[in-house]
Amino acid sequence: MNLALFDLDNTLLIGDSDFEWAQFLISKGVVDRELQEAKNIEFYEQYKAGTLDIYEFLIFQLAPLTRHPRAELDAWHTEFMARHIRPIIGEQARALVNQHLASHDLCAIVTATNCFVTGPIAREFGIPHLIGTTAAVDMQNGAFSGGPRGTPSFREGKIERVESWLESLGLWWGSFEDSFFYSDSHNDLPLMGKVKTPIAVDPDDKLRQHSAEMGWKIITLR
């Protein structure tokens, strides 16, 4: 059995689901366009530089979820999938995922984006497991509290979350004949260093350079 892990934003998607969700909320008049776009640019520059404070980012990004009933958010997400997500899922990404699923590999999306946004996207791909940042929820009414629960699935946190997930299945890294991780970002270098076969997908400049130095495979899904 093989393990296939996929980053989501700018890897399987031709774009960023967090950014697209913010744009969707702007279109609904739910958040202020000027503030949201300014903060998105600021956080994205920090992400590219490898200096992002994930907790500061999550508090900002999760805040809009706290201001609306869960039923309304779920209805919005259905519209969001149709308008913003399906148009940025390329056929090559679907084919890659289907190849691993057809081989009966253990497949999971591993993303820093919260599971409310990414859960339906994982299901759209047919990927059975999602390791994303968990938004804290009141289990009585489904309302979001505005903060993360547990370790965010970001940088080294992705390793912790993947290993906890594998352990819950009675597995570890050595359980697999081969293990793959597909990502576009240098922020994923910690997890890429844990798998047997790291694959850079339309990588940023830092990941492209590192991949070339390490002899890692570089592919495009665009």
User: Which tokens is 218 given?
Assistant: 């570089």
> Which residues, other chains included, contact 166 with Cβ-Cβ below 8 Å and sequence gap of 6+?
172, 173, 175
Residues belonging to the active site: 7, 9
What separation, in Å, do the N-terminal and C-terminal C-alpha atoms of the chain show? 28
pLDDT in tens, 112-135: 999 999 999 999 999 999 999 998
Annotated domain spans of the chain: 3-219
pLDDT band at residue 8 using 50, 70 and 90 as cut-offs: very high
Exposed / middle / buried, residue 185 (Cβ in 10 Å: 0-12, 13-18, 19+): buried
The residue to which tokens 């949201």 are assigned: 36
**Average predicted confidence (pLDDT) for the chain:** 95
Domain 3-219: CATH architecture, name and number where available:
3-Layer(aba) Sandwich (3.40)
On whether the pTM is more than 0.75, the answer is yes
Q: Which residues of 90-111 are buried (b: 16+ CB within 10 A; e: fewer)?
A: eeebeebbeebeeeebbbbbbb
User: Which tokens is 101 given?
Assistant: 């699923």
CA distance 121 to 31: 22
